[in-house]
Amino acid sequence: MGGPRRLLLVSNSTLHGGGYLGHCQEHIKSFLGEKVKRVLFVPYALHDRDAYARTARAKFESLGYGLDSIHESCDPVEAVRKSEAIFIGGGNTFRLLKALYDNSLIQEIRKRVLEDGIPYMGSSAGTNVATISINTTNDMPIVYPPSLQALGLVPFNINPHYLDPDVKSSHMGETREERIRQYHEEPNTPPVLGLREGAMLLVEGDKATLQGVTGARLFLRGKKPTEHEPGTDFSFLLNDSNFQNL
């Protein structure tokens, strides 16, 4: 197929008051277009892969796309090689990344997306693994992947489900912003884009645009975080040389 990378990185699968992928279904249709007929679904982030595949299949069929779940294939690598588009769903990021390594899919997915140009969609954990690493996931390490390094489809990290501090809360635990700041206390850590629920990042080649109904918060090492509304051009985040000295 060939062509520039095309990514739709969604913060969450379900938005309060709506159904599965309901808040982003028009974005999905626009992103996949008419050329894609079938989507390869990766349900590794949840334990019950059969039930997860049924949910995803029902949604994508309602949008006019067939869906094959990779866990139903006897050869996951070959399934990736033959795929027209890939969707990795949410769940536990550590479980997901371990399964990608266990099935030798990291380099295969990178090749299909970055070299062959097939569309990649992720939600929640599927968005986490699209980045450099899963260091900024919100999940518990219930299993241990061989590395925290992920697909590296973009040269920065994302924190899905980003939560702003609740000024009325008496909770004394660390805020999401404090945890990201701790991450940036370590040397050579890349930018982190905090995607609130309802937000998503569309990447087309060297252009990245914030979409959805909510905004995002951008964290750069050594700098104050900045607030961004839907429509923001984040293309500069795709040039990793901008951050090598941060």
pLDDT for residue 167 is more than 90 = no
Q: Is 139 a catalytic residue?
A: yes
Query: What does the block give as tokens for 57?
Result: 């299949």
Residue 89: its pLDDT value, please? 97
The whole-angstrom separation of Cα 11 and Cα 159 is 8
Q: Is 50 a catalytic residue?
A: no
Q: What is the DSSP string of 195-209?
A: E-TTEEEEEETTEEE
Checking DSSP bridges between strand 66-69 and strand 6-10, what pairing results, if any? unpaired
The whole-angstrom separation of Cα 217 and Cα 194 is 5
pLDDT for residue 1 is more than 70 = no
Q: How far is residue 48 from each of residues 91, 140, 157, measured CA to CA in Å?
A: 11, 18, 27
Q: Which of 13, 123, 133, 139 is flagged as catalytic?
A: 139
Q: Is 161 a catalytic residue?
A: yes
pLDDT for residue 174 is more than 70 = yes
Q: pLDDT, tens digit, for every residue of 51-68?
A: 999 999 999 999 999 999
pTM of the model: 0.94
Q: Which of 73, 161, 228, 240 is flagged as catalytic?
A: 161
Strand extents, DSSP E, the chain: 6-10, 38-42, 66-69, 86-88, 120-123, 157-159, 192-195, 199-204, 207-212, 216-219, 226-228
Q: Which of 83, 123, 124, 133 is flagged as catalytic?
A: 124
Whether the Cβ atoms of residue 91 and residue 45 lie closer than 8 Å to each other? yes
- Domain parsing of the chain, residue ranges: 6-242
CATH superfamily of 6-242: Class I glutamine amidotransferase (GATase) domain (3.40.50.880)
